[in-house]
Amino acid sequence: MKITDVKVVTLGHKLPEPNGCSRGRAISFRGAALVVIETDEGLQGIGEGYGPEYYIVKTIVDRKFKPWLIGEDPLDIERLWRKMLMTTVYWDQKGQGVAAASGVDMALWDLAGKYYGVPTYKLLGGDARGNMKIQAYASDLFWDTPSNMAKTAKKHAAKGFPIVKTHLGNGLVEDEKRVKAIKDAIGDDVGLMVDMNCGYDRVEALKLGRMLEKHGVYWYEEPLSPYDVDGYAYLKSKLDIPIATGENEYTKWGFKELFQKNGVDFAMPDIMRCGGITETKKICALAEAFNIACSPHNYTTGVGLAATLHLIASTPNCDWLELDMADYPLYHSLLKRPLEIDNKGMIKIPQDPGLGVEIRKDILKKYSVN
């Protein structure tokens, strides 16, 4: 089989209400870069590179990868991955070059599944838990009044998810009001994860962490800048609450530093940016050697969701699928068939060959952006 074409489909959606997170920041637009690989056997692979800056992913794939990918055997995934990384290493060891390679890698794994006629997780090691299911948590609550956030959290908990995640990060006093309100609403049987989106410095982050410990929060996500790996190790030495981080980290080399410095309890590689399925498998293996759990970050379209599902399904030290509960029109609509989620937030592993995704014509027409 040979690659005959590589395209990047760029999609976007303006949110009806901005999603507030730490330090008063808000997300008002979600962009996506989907990589589509065509072959001489008529099979098509679809992947996703981390694409809020979708036009950068498109430019890198079009200009740096496509010219030499055409004519290659798409089943030589390791070799093609290495070549992509070697192409970008001189100017981008952590960033959109790796994200663009991640999108291509994901499309290659989708193609491989279709070529061999099996769902991609079977090529990655099969069902790691033996029950054909993976556990999801409900993500994400965004900054709002304490009572509105509590109401949304309660709605998610009522669907059976054992854990709900919220964004905070606008000062100790205001953060604590929201933690209390959400905890009161969901009760003691449902866990709460708190995500700071890198909002604090070490002094504030330590105070915040102690407050979250007092309220029995399940994990404390990205309190500090991803540059401050020593700061993560410092926080972990002072706090009992598990620290989750890694969505802004890249490749096994980046995670190696985080693990060696003992900076994380739950590693959160993002398949769409850390190096694709190929590299995330290796990051998880590296984490396993440090006895660290992984929970891949997943704020994405349905394509990234599917890749994350297949990866978690086949990886024993992966806990918790991050399931986006927002009404995002590029999420479930890109899956070939609807996810089967039971009343405890367990998701059945999809069985279509490859990743089980498609880009419907109506979606293309409605959400295409340049």
Among 38, 98, 67, CA closest to 252: 98
- Between 38 and 195, whose beta carbon lies closer to Mg ion? 195
- Please give the residue whose beta carbon sits closest to Mg ion in the complex: 195
DSSP 79-110: HHHHHHHHHHTTT-SSSHHHHHHHHHHHHHHH
* Least distance between Mg ion and beta carbon 222 (Å): 5
How many other C-beta atoms lie within 10 A of the C-beta of residue 189?
Answer: 7
Q: Per the residue annotation, which of 13, 156, 215, 297 is the catalytic one?
A: 297
DSSP tag of 354: B
* Least distance between Mg ion and beta carbon 140 (Å): 8
* Least distance between Mg ion and beta carbon 329 (Å): 21
The yes-or-no answer on residue 297 being catalytic is yes
Q: Binding pattern to Mg ion, positions 142-181, x when CB under 5 A?
A: ----------------------------------------
* Least distance between Mg ion and beta carbon 198 (Å): 9
What is each CA distance from 241 to 16, 127, 165, 194, in whole angstroms? 35, 30, 15, 11
d(CA 344, CA 56): 39
Contact 288, 104 (CB under 8 A): no
- Between 96 and 248, whose beta carbon lies closer to Mg ion? 248
How many other C-beta atoms lie within 10 A of the C-beta of residue 297?
Answer: 28
3-state secondary structure of 119: strand
* Least distance between Mg ion and beta carbon 280 (Å): 16
Residues 330-349 that bind Mg ion (CB under 5 A): none
- Between 47 and 226, whose beta carbon lies closer to Mg ion? 226
- Between 35 and 318, whose beta carbon lies closer to Mg ion? 318
Q: Binding pattern to Mg ion, positions 187-206, x when CB under 5 A?
A: --------x-----------
d(CA 283, CA 250): 10
Structure tokens at 2: 């040979």
Q: At what angle do helices 202-214 and 172-186 cross, to 10 degrees?
A: 30
Residues 20-59 that bind Mg ion (CB under 5 A): none
> How many chain residues bind Mg ion (CB under 5 A)?
1
Contact 84, 140 (CB under 8 A): no
Specify the DSSP element, H or E, that contains 72: none
DSSP tag of 61: I
- Between 35 and 268, whose beta carbon lies closer to Mg ion? 268
* Least distance between Mg ion and beta carbon 126 (Å): 29
What's the CA angle centered on 55, arms 49 and 60, to 5 degrees? 65
Catalytic residue annotation: 297
- Residues contributing to the site for Mg ion (CB under 5 A): 195
